A and B are shown apart, each in its own frame.
Chain A
């Protein structure tokens, strides 16, 4: 019985062999076709290389693209962005503080190429190919996740740069928030959001210290919770942070762009200037009974989770804390909470003090982060006269 089933001339197999055999006469022809294909491919590769090597193709921005080529490039870009942005979840957007931060950075980092409601782009960038487009008509053609992907990653071959600090996705979302509001934004509203004084030229040129200060003041001297308070910190701490941003050790697209070109002398001067500014001693928010949990964390920590008391390091008086440790009492809640989340997620762990804080924040719950941030915002900071005492 078993020998019968093993017989190769019965069942389905001989049929298949028969079909294969019928293909056999074609085999030599298929070989010829294959050789021809290889030859054609080699000709294309060599020919293409020789064409490029000869230099007859012009890379001149002044000449534009061949007809149709630009359409192809745009099609490729749109397709690539759509596919890569597909899985990105959009967080809640539209917070007024996000809008302010996004606008302030747009003014600093984007407007000179793309123009803004307050003024046109710089003349020299208009000769690039492609020319950086006016974003007003373009923004509605993209989804929020696609805008996020473009702002974060930049666009190859277009001159659109990637975000300086890829781990700061929170900052990129701030810019997306702004972009989505851009098409309907009046020049007055833009100036207000970006912190531009009425008479200031839109692309501010740094030619003296006053102009330098204006660039900082656009964000840090405004009465808003969108930007961290600097009137709490010591001169030494501010200088350390400026240097860390400028060197790229502390990641922030906003602040790296703002500090990269500063000289040491300018940074020292700025740190001194802000450390001497009067403290706003009125707390940003009123104390509430709900701040008790935050206060307990600040004073006693959460030992069961391995979280020490914040106060142990972030003492009220500068004389009682390391210069690497910032003052926290009075800081805006949104800023403190965002930084703690950055520490917790590992987005802020590139300096040694940051790694220390990342270890601790990694043990905190989101509720604890919000509780302690709210408590701190309701506290009265030290007045400027005592801020720097060591």
Chain B
């Protein structure tokens, strides 16, 4: 079974361990269920000696107290080791990423607190085979970070830093989802985790550090003017431009992402246009107002420019 968002198809050691645990629990649960059913059948239809054995105090103590205690304690210990292991000291090569849950999107900072820090949004790009150390925080309410293919859920709680270490073993695109109801369009607070081979990742990160590319044609040039005249920079940063808003997602390389609106829409010019004009219809209640009053031509040009920000 293979999919972008499946606990049954782990793509990293964290998720694989959880999947193993899940299968063991499922298998164990099935075995216990069968055993209990067998005992019920024997208790009803077995011979007198069998029934006497089942009813004996010794049998009840062993199967009713000792076995469940041992099984549950073992599962607890295993689960603690499995999930607690993520909080251990990071390896020196680990990539540090801070993810902030905001209503209703993800602010993502690479190498936070270093001079090389770079911000992006709604897409976690990570190198294959290398530990990634996530600092999970929230700006407003409780969110929960969950990429089923890579790791278990970890809540993002205001005022607290939760850590999660994960690793992707194979290149690919995996889907993540806010897993704690966080109001309004919570269902549309998703993202993608994109695992790239080490070299590709390095060039991706180097590109993210660069300021926005200059407009390539007249349309894009005009689109940049529309962006500034409409006041988009009040909320959005585009590095290299006088656009330093920090309320919404950083758009410096927005066209390099797979989706718009936190995995609400595919990322192409047409959807960009629709998002700007009509986002309150597409993702009702999100914090960005719709800009339906912009002229059609202005919307086209704006979408052309934003679509060029690779």
Using a CB–CB cutoff of 8 Å, the interface residues on chain A facing chain B are 301, 303, 306-309, 311-315, 320-322, 324-325, 351-353, 355-356, 359-360
Contacts and interface: CB of A to CB of B under 8 A. Distances in A.
A60 to B, nearest CB: 51
Contact of A312 (B231, B289, B294): B231
Contacts of A306: 247, 287
B25 to A, nearest CB: 43
Contacts of B287: 306, 359
Nearest to B277: A352
Nearest to A302: B247
A355 B245 contact: no
B230 A313 contact: yes
Contact of A303 (B229, B230, B247, B294): B247
Interface range for B: 10 to 19
A359 B245 CA distance: 16
Given A308-B245, A352-B292, A320 B234 contact: no
B233 A355 contact: no
Closest 9 interchain pairs by CB? A308-B234, A312-B234, A313-B231, A356-B289, A352-B293, A312-B231, A359-B289, A352-B292, A308-B235
A365 to B, nearest CB: 16
A159 B290 CA distance: 41
B234 A322 contact: no
B60 interface: no
B291 interface: yes
A5 to B, nearest CB: 48
A356 B289 CA distance: 5
Question: Do most interface residues of chain B lie in helix, strand or loop, or is the interface mixed?
Answer: loop
Interface string B256-299: 00000000000000000000000000000001011111100000
B246 interface: yes
B293 A351 contact: yes
A22 B291 CA distance: 79
Interface in B203-255: 228-235, 245-247
Contact of A353 (B229, B235, B246, B293): B293
Contacts of A360: 289
Given A301-B234, A320-B229, A312 B290 contact: no
A311 B291 CA distance: 17
Given A303-B246, A306-B247, A320-B228, A312 B293 contact: no
A308 B248 CA distance: 10
B290 A309 contact: no
A322 B229 contact: yes
B119 to A, nearest CB: 14
B8 to A, nearest CB: 39
B287 to A, nearest CB: 6
B231 A352 contact: no
Given A306-B247, A322-B229, A352 B290 contact: yes
A95 to B, nearest CB: 32
B231 A355 contact: no
A303 B102 CA distance: 13
A321 B293 contact: no
B231 A321 contact: yes
B289 A321 contact: no
